[in-house]
Amino acid sequence: MLQAIGLTSAPRRELPPAVDDLTFEARPGQVTALLGAAASGKTTALRLMLDLAPGRGVTYFRGRPLYRIAHPAREVGALLGDVPGHPARTARGQLRMLCAAAGVPASRADDMLDLVGLAALADERLSMLSLGMDRRLGLASALLGDPHTLLLDQPAKGLSPREHSWLFGLLRGHAAQGGTVLYTTSDPREAARTADRVVTIEGGRLVADQGAAEFARTRLRPRVVVTTPHAARLGALVTREARAARRSVEVVAEGGARLSVYGSDCAQVGETAFRHGIPVHRLADEVRDTGPPPVPERQPAPAAPRGAGGSGTGTRVTVPPPLPLRPSRSPLRPVRYELHRLLGTRTTLLVAAAVLAASVTISVLLARVGSTPLSALLAAWPDILPLPPAALGAGLLGAIAFGEEFRYPALAAARGTVPRRVGLLLAKLAVSATAALLLGLLVVVADAQALRLVYGEDLLRVPEKWAALGLSWSGLTVGCAWAGLLGAGVFRATAAGVAAVLAVPVLVAPVAQRMVVGPSVRSVAGLPGRLREVAWLRWPYEIDAWVVAGMRVAAQPVGAALSLSLCALLCAYLFTGLRRRPHW
């Protein structure tokens, strides 16, 4: 059972809250419609239930609030608006990425595509899907974790009659298996046809909570719609015959050739028109909305115990104190999720191709000068560039890892912020470091082959300090990737991550150079030996060379700048995202 108790949104300045002390329940085995006109607070109410909007109140999903559910995707499935996702990602790729977030097998993506009728479009990109197909994919995303409760915001908006029937047939099947379904709509006739219970709100407040049959009887009024060129004459005849037969009939002229007849049916109106020779262009039964019932005035009442549910207007509860925003859990399988995110679009391949092309071109042009050292040739790093193309590309891939995360509903029930969890952070660091190392290796191999092809074998020879150079190159690419990732994670934008990468050589490196290159009176020579003396474990003497190489990398201005930047960004990330928050 879903119980919403005292939902109240945070008002903006002097405006009233969009949702004001809203309390109702949606029962298992039933389809519940949350009915209201535009700007009545329907979407805000759903966002309050999912902890995606600031406000007060609490929502219990089978007796537990959302932030106390270990696996929210397996308890609540949500669809708010369209399906957020990268336009170039395929439908199957999108669902497989969400499977990793929900901790369910990847094979369930194909099962959901079959269920919603998208198996033939599994390899289509999201940008190519129509509105109806987008709604089907959104419903598949909501059903991935086999949730008990479905929260849908106007799921049938813009759908064709056939897709409309399919959608509510699927929702009815979910409810028949014991699930809870709550959807919002602004059409009272749709609510009467498709729901078991209708909760009506107006101005963010509850005005009625009725069964579908009672709602249709009290809210909807049947009528006969007639279109004829002699509307005034036909209306007078229908009224005269109704008086003669002592029937209660109301005729309303709606302008032009259109009439609405209340209290009669198509047969009686059609017979009257036929007897008097009046041509009829249209004759149909319709149901008209009579408008919501008046909003009841607030009456002081004793406060109910906290946590007490209620579905009527008479139930009063104490509004709990404000709850902090708390996004859903991070992916249950973060490494698999991150790999799907990285390789699901062509962005990674395009960045790698651009980096390789730029590196090969720069390397070949630098070799013509003759004075550039081999290490700079293989890295394609002239003095005029702050960073080589490989480092910039690694930084861009790292920045995209967090900068584009807002597109995906995997880490929150809708378009909320991405939770900054330790498992997700470690997965992103590991995957971005691997991508950076592979990109750096490909650049060195491609530049070496290009130099051999253009200038021959004489130019290429193994440097004496190849270990230190390799470690320095690896540290540079991985450090730039991490700087971009943490910068985008702190400021929630890809551009901020790229700016953090460029700030290393432009702003931080000059400061580090003054500290490192300046005169010193002491030396750290012999540090590996002293470390071996105080360490518990004895490592081979061959590792000393790698320790010395690492020290030389850290002593370089760019290496020191990267270290300082990474430390600052990591501290900012931990401070802004991983600090402990109270539950209440």
Distance set, CA 141 to CA 83, 95, 98, 167, 199 (Å): 8, 6, 7, 14, 26
Three-state DSSP class for 422?
A: helix
Report which residue type is found at 129: L
Distance set, CA 119 to CA 104, 106, 156 (Å): 19, 15, 21
pLDDT for position 24: 95
Give the DSSP H/E element, type plus range, for residue 141. Answer: helix 131-143
pLDDT for position 91: 93
pLDDT for position 319: 40
pLDDT for position 294: 55
pLDDT for position 306: 35
pLDDT for position 257: 87
- In terms of Cβ atoms closer than 10 Å to its own Cβ (0-12, 13-18, 19+), residue 281 is exposed
pLDDT for position 330: 60
Residue 200 contacts residue 35 (beta carbons within 8 Å): yes
Low-confidence residues of the chain: pLDDT under 50: 296-328, 409-418, 521, 579-584
Please, what are the domains in the chain?
A: 2-216 (3.40.50.300), 229-280 (no CATH), 334-577 (no CATH)
pLDDT for position 355: 96
Helix locations, 245-346, DSSP H: 266-275, 334-343
pLDDT for position 553: 54
Longest CA span, the chain: 117
